[in-house]
A = this chain, B = another copy of it.
Amino acid sequence: MKPSIPKGTRDFSPVEMARRNYIFDTIRGVFRLFGYRQIETPSMENLSTLMGKYGEEGDKLLFKIQNSGDYMNGVSDEELLSRNSLKLAAKFCEKGLRYDLTVPFARFVVMHREELQFPFKRFQIQPVWRADRPQKGRYREFYQCDADVVGSDSLLYEIELIQMIDMVFSRFGVRVAIKLNNRKILAGIAESIGQADKIVDITVAIDKLDKIGLDGVNAELAEKGLPEDAIDRLQPIIKLTGSNAEKLDVIAKVLEGSEVGQKGVEECRFILSGAEKLGLKNELELDLTLARGLNYYTGAIFEVKALDVEIGSISGGGRYDNLTGIFGMPGVSGVGISFGADRIYDVLTQLDLYPKEAQSGVKVLFLNLGSDEAAFCMEQLARLRAAGIASEIYPDAAKMKKQMSYANAGAIPFVAIVGSDELAQGKVTLKNMETGEQSLVDAADLADKLA
């Protein structure tokens, strides 16, 4: 009888919504400032669009929508009784819920290629769904905030995306480290130690340095079949320290013989010097252990860590070269970033960084002391609202205490009182709920007082 919601999903209260809107508005504002334009795609995509794009595990985590009507038509008795749930799902269901914003974006670009002007800079802020096991901080429905540009391989975009990350977090007041790497450097390293075919194993292992330590990384490399001398030659790179320029100089030496590696170093130099010259507010750090586990990155890789809160990465992204290839449109380079709204929410909450405006709504509540007084209040409300001041009236002449507790619960900063005296004089008693201060105000001056 008691109603509930599906596990891993959430209701958002007015206070939570105000905070979430502050986060989305801030990110959206920065996206727009840099010329990214919003699109939206449907919540449901054809399963043919989604399946096979997120690996075998991903296919299982897709929420599938049952066909309407007689979805069992055309399925033989044998098939039914086989109880092969994955295979039958493909018969019962044609549609699935969006798993991320990247694949739908690629589908969008291919479908609308004739109408789009390239380079196409888009942002998208929409929920995604994953049938993951719910746990603390992991939900089955959550928002992604992505900005990508496709149709250009210019590194100016990498610089701009770093500026955008920097601006978003300085607007939030959160100190972060922006980490940069380049897939071409990783490829060059694999090549230079004679293990070009092992690049995926190497990057996946190195990516875990933070979590499992140097010994853990080396053990995993050995397990993946890397010879001892190759692991030895990796050590100076994994343990690399110093300024960005110093790191790059060391790496450039190591990668002298690797064309792709040299290209990676050159890209990093351009991006780092370009971004630094423009004056970032946060630190930008070359981190060769950063791989983000995502095999589709082909150039720059970004990741952002909060400095004052213990939490996973709160933003990340990179350059990819063939996003739209899966839908038959090869050769389109792109680069993008994504902000993790739920983690940012936790960071801002922990650091208590929400501005006051993000918390309150209504500026003034008119108390209701009777029908004649209320009618007068309604006139004042119409004037305040026309002046853009959010305001309301308590609906009945209830007990004072009840009306005041309504104002308190809503964190309404002012209360306006119109009793018979005020009514006779055309005035309003305005009470500041924080200081307790009261003053008698001409009704005509109320909007000015509150603005």
Asked whether B17 lies within 8 Å of A37 as measured between CB atoms, the reply is yes
B-contacting 9-mer, from A38-46, A252-260, A440-448: A38-46
Binding site for B on A (CB under 8 A): 1-6, 9-14, 17-18, 21, 32-35, 37-46, 49, 60-61, 63-66, 68-73, 77, 80-81, 83, 85, 88-89, 92-95, 97, 107-108, 110-112, 115, 117, 119, 121-122, 127, 129, 131, 141, 149, 152, 154, 156-157, 159, 163, 167, 274, 277-279, 327-328, 361-362, 365, 374-375, 378-379, 382, 385, 388-393, 395-396, 405-406, 409-410
**A6: B residues at CB distance < 8 A:** 42, 44-46, 94-95
Which residue of the partner chain, among B4, B85, B274, contacts A72 with CB atoms under 8 Å? B85
Chain B residues lying within 8 Å of A77, measured Cβ to Cβ, are 81
C-alpha spacing A92/B73, complex, angstroms: 16
What is the CB-to-nearest-CB distance from A270 to chain B, in angstroms, rounded to a whole number?
9
Name A12's closest neighbour in chain B (CB-CB): B40
Report yes or no: A33 in contact with B117, Cβ–Cβ below 8 A.
no
Q: How many copies does the complex hold?
A: 2
Pick from B49, B97, B149, B278: contact of A3, CB under 8 Å: B49
Q: Given the known A-B contacts A49-B3, A68-B63, A111-B11, are A156 and B34 also in contact in the complex, defined by CB atoms under 8 Å?
A: no
Q: Which residue of B lies closest to A121 (CB)?
A: B392
Pick from A64, A94, A156 the residue with the most CB of B within 10 Å. A156
Does A14 contact B37, Cβ atoms closer than 8 Å? yes
> Closest Cβ of chain B: how far from A58's Cβ, in Å?
12
A21 to B31, CA, bound (A): 15
**A395 with B94: CB separation less than 8 A:** no
Contact A119-B395, Cβ < 8 Å, known A11-B41, A141-B44? yes
**Can you list 18 contacts pairing A with B, beta carbon distance less than 8 Å?**
A17-B37, A21-B38, A35-B362, A35-B365, A37-B410, A43-B141, A61-B68, A66-B93, A71-B85, A72-B83, A72-B88, A117-B406, A117-B410, A121-B392, A156-B393, A163-B382, A277-B375, A278-B379
> Apart from A35-B392, A71-B89, what are 11 other A-B pairs with CB-CB below 8 Å?
A3-B327, A5-B46, A14-B122, A35-B361, A35-B362, A42-B141, A61-B68, A92-B92, A117-B410, A152-B395, A277-B379
| Docked-complex contact B45 and A69, CB < 8 angstroms | no
The reply to whether A157 and B395 contact each other, CB–CB distance below 8 Å, is: yes
CA distance A354 to B442 in the complex (A): 38
Cβ of B122 and Cβ of A392 under 8 Å apart?
no
Q: Give chain B residues whose Cβ lies under 8 Å from the Cβ of A63.
A: 44, 65-66, 68
The interface residues of chain B lying within 8 Å CB-to-CB of A92 are 66, 92
- Chain B contacts for A393, CB-based, 8 A: 156
Q: Quote the shortest CB–CB distance from A385 to chain B (angstroms).
A: 5
Residue of B nearest to A95 (CB): B6
On chain B, the residues within 8 Å of A85 by CB distance are: 69-72
How many Å lie between the Cα of A379 and that of B5 in the bound state? 50
